[in-house]
Structure 1
């Protein structure tokens, strides 16, 4: 008789489980757990996810596939460029305060369209963006300016700015912003019941690389 695997409950155990799933995905040997009829039925009355994932809305960043998890395993919040907003913070606080997830994963990726748009928006010949898109990428512009350096008010040479560096800087700023916005999340980290991992997904390889960790992992 096969024993049921022990469910991870700590931040460190949860991150190890997600990394194991990503290794399977990269190797082309996913197990596709928790995707059957029995699992679906068992979740009808409630959920108890392992992790809250806040990631970019890019169609190539399907978290459940990347980490080889299934129904009920990941509480996923997404928008273009993984930009912090009140709805994002509220959703993650729900995951922490009500669903008691031990880990928040902030997931960025290379070749991000929102990052590219933020870089281009700072060039001298940039065309005006639709208002809602402009508002969205405004949160990424500080990372662009930090990487570009020089006069913060002067146009930049978009071709000379490394988008990967901007993406990483924005990822770190996003984690910091989340901590600033949510006392609940900061308190849970201080209590040792929660950790945040900021990571980058490499589109071609399928691998997730850890960039920043807050809490005990």
Structure 2
């Protein structure tokens, strides 16, 4: 895909899921990674999606979605937690770069989620600023427990949904008003991503 025309939110999601399937099948195309394309990006960038992902080293968005330079505006924090700098970066991708889609990308065996579960269950609180990360994930763990969810995969999905809702609640005019937001979960073994939740996808795609 050349960055000459911004796709709709639905088209952007389809590009990501199609690329992920190539990655799963072991047949990646590695698009937009050559020297000629790199030169076209010198004047500016035109990504088609913002990806808020976990910092986990196994969760490299451009690789698992089989994309290249200039395609994705990626923001990563442990446990994909939201702080002011993170929110500002996402808003920049939407408002200034024109990305029609924001992806919250979580994954199985998330260390931040496991630490938050331990904190809630046993009161084991990490030291330093890791504690701040865990405290931001803990509400998702409590919300999952409130509806009877205790399996790790269910808690991860709840945290993805919570992050999507929090993002829209904190930025209703910029993110909520200009982009669709989807939550995806990544399976480490298979390499597959699957849709957990979506907000505004139909409305934005039809605009």
Query: Can you list the C-alpha shifts for 1:43-78, whole angstroms capped at 9, x where unaligned?
Result: 111100011000000000000001100000000000
Aligned to 2:157: 168
Query: Can you list the C-alpha shifts for 1:131-183, whole angstroms capped at 9, x where unaligned?
Result: 31111111111121223349xxxxxxxxx932111111111110010011112
Runs of 4+ deviating beyond 3 Å = 3-8
Residues 3 and 46 in structure 2, CA contact (< 8 A), matched pair in contact too: no
Residues 6 and 48 in structure 2, CA contact (< 8 A), matched pair in contact too: yes
Structure with the higher helix share, 1 or 2: 2
Within the candidate set 40, 44, 49, 1:46 is matched to: 44
Residues 144 and 155 in structure 2, CA contact (< 8 A), matched pair in contact too: yes
Alpha-carbon distance change, 90 to 161 in structure 1, aligned in 2, over 3 angstroms: same
Tell me, yes or no, if structure 1 residue 131 matches structure 2 residue 128. Answer: yes
Tell me, yes or no, if structure 1 residue 140 matches structure 2 residue 129. Answer: no
**1:8 Cα offset (Å):** 5.3
**Root-mean-square deviation over aligned CA pairs:** 2.0
Instruction: Please give the TM-score of this superposition, normalised by the length of structure 1.
Output: 0.86
Instruction: Give the unaligned 5+ runs of structure 1.
Output: 151-159, 189-193
Alpha-carbon distance change, 149 to 213 in structure 1, aligned in 2, over 3 angstroms: closer
Tell me, yes or no, if structure 1 residue 207 matches structure 2 residue 192. Answer: yes
State which structure, 1 or 2, has the greater radius of gyration over its C-alpha atoms.
Answer: 1
Instruction: Please give the TM-score of this superposition, normalised by the length of structure 2.
Output: 0.90
